[in-house]
Amino acid sequence: MRLFGAICVMLAVSAFACSLISNEKRALRCLGTLCCALERMRAELTTRLCPTQDLLHEAANTTEGETAQFFFQILEGMDSLTTKSFAELWQEAVETSFSLLPETEKNALITLGGSLGRYALEEQLSAIDRFLLVGQAAFQARRAALPDKRRLIVALCETAGIFLCLLLL
């Protein structure tokens, strides 16, 4: 019976480790697709001066996962622009769609939403550039740290599982 309990504990901590690693990969993928979408939005703004709604629609249709959900949520909220500002819609979408991202990236993204579609073209482009600096640096750092973080998560979870098994015996 104790052996069965020890096996269950080890399986549970292994599943927990897999879940943590999966969340880290999702956050990395989310940040990467967000940076790519904003780069495309910047290019469209620079070349064609597209309206914000067209930019959001294109970004929603060319991304996936949390990033697509983010852009679709803003597009759905565009009907309520009489009661809420674009910056408020943007902030709500950031908080609902990007719960996996650290506060630094979320705050930079919220700041970006305050200037999109609101200021002159140069100011919008510089706001996108500021976020891209933060977002791409965070993406590169997270991607470089992922293998070590993965090993650390597995080692800590398995060590905790072994400790729990020893307590059970």
The dihedral formed by the CA atoms of 51, 53, 54 and 55, expressed in degrees to the nearest 10 = 90
Residue 65's region, left for phi above 0, alpha for psi from -120 to 50, else beta, is: left
Statement: the pTM of the whole predicted model exceeds 0.75: yes
With beta carbons less than 8 A apart as the criterion, state whether 165 and 9 touch.
yes
- State the pLDDT at residue 152: 94
Condensed to tens digits (0 to 9), the pLDDT of residues 9-21 reads 889 999 999 999 9
Condensed to tens digits (0 to 9), the pLDDT of residues 33-73 reads 999 998 988 888 888 777 778 888 888 888 888 888 998 88
Q: How far is CA 46 from CA 37, 105, 155, 167, in A?
A: 14, 24, 48, 63
% the chain with pLDDT above 90: 30
Residue 100 confidence (pLDDT) above 80: yes
Q: How far apart are CA 71 and CA 38, in angstroms?
A: 11
Condensed to tens digits (0 to 9), the pLDDT of residues 116-133 reads 767 777 888 888 899 999
Q: How far is CA 45 from CA 20, 53, 80, 123, 125, in A?
A: 37, 12, 24, 12, 8
DSSP three-state, residue 49:
coil
Per-residue pLDDT averaged across 144-159, rounded? 93
How far is C-alpha 23 from the chain's CA centre?
10
